[in-house]
Amino acid sequence: MHAKAKGPKIEVIDNEERRAFITKAMAAMAVTAGMTKVANAAEPAAAHAADQLTTAPKKDPAKLRPVRLDRKYLEGKDIPDLAPWPAAMQLRPVKTHRTVEWYTGEKLSCMVYDADDGLLKFTDLPYDEHVVLLSGTATLTSLDGTVEIFNKGDVFIAPMGWSGTWELANNYRELICFETQSLAAAMQAWFE
- Is residue 8 within 8 Å of residue 145, measured between CB atoms? no
Verify that 120 and 31 share a domain, yes or no.
no
In tens, the pLDDT along 25-37 reads 454 444 444 433 3
Verify that 84 and 174 share a domain, yes or no.
yes
Specify if 50 maps to a domain: yes
For 28, the domain range is 16-55
H/E stretch holding 187: helix 180-191
Residue 39 has pLDDT above 70, yes or no: no
| pLDDT cut 70: percent of the chain above it | 70
Residue 95: DSSP 8-state: S
Verify that 85 and 136 share a domain, yes or no.
yes
Specify if 45 maps to a domain: yes
Q: Provide the β-strand partners of residue 158.
A: 129
- Rounded mean pLDDT of the chain? 79
Verify that 92 and 30 share a domain, yes or no.
no
Verify that 101 and 21 share a domain, yes or no.
no
CA-CA distance, 97 to 118, in Å (whole number)?
A: 10
DSSP-derived 3-state class of residue 20: helix
Verify that 115 and 184 share a domain, yes or no.
yes
- Is residue 108 within 8 Å of residue 134, measured between CB atoms? no
Q: Provide the β-strand partners of residue 90.
A: 120
Residue 59 has pLDDT above 80, yes or no: no
Decide: pTM greater than 0.95: no
Per-residue pLDDT, averaged over 12-40, amounts to 46
Specify if 66 maps to a domain: no
Mean pLDDT lowest among 15-19, 87-91, 158-162, 188-192: 15-19
Specify if 11 maps to a domain: no
CA-CA distance, 147 to 6, in Å (whole number)?
A: 13
Specify if 67 maps to a domain: no
When divided into structural domains, the chain yields a total of 2
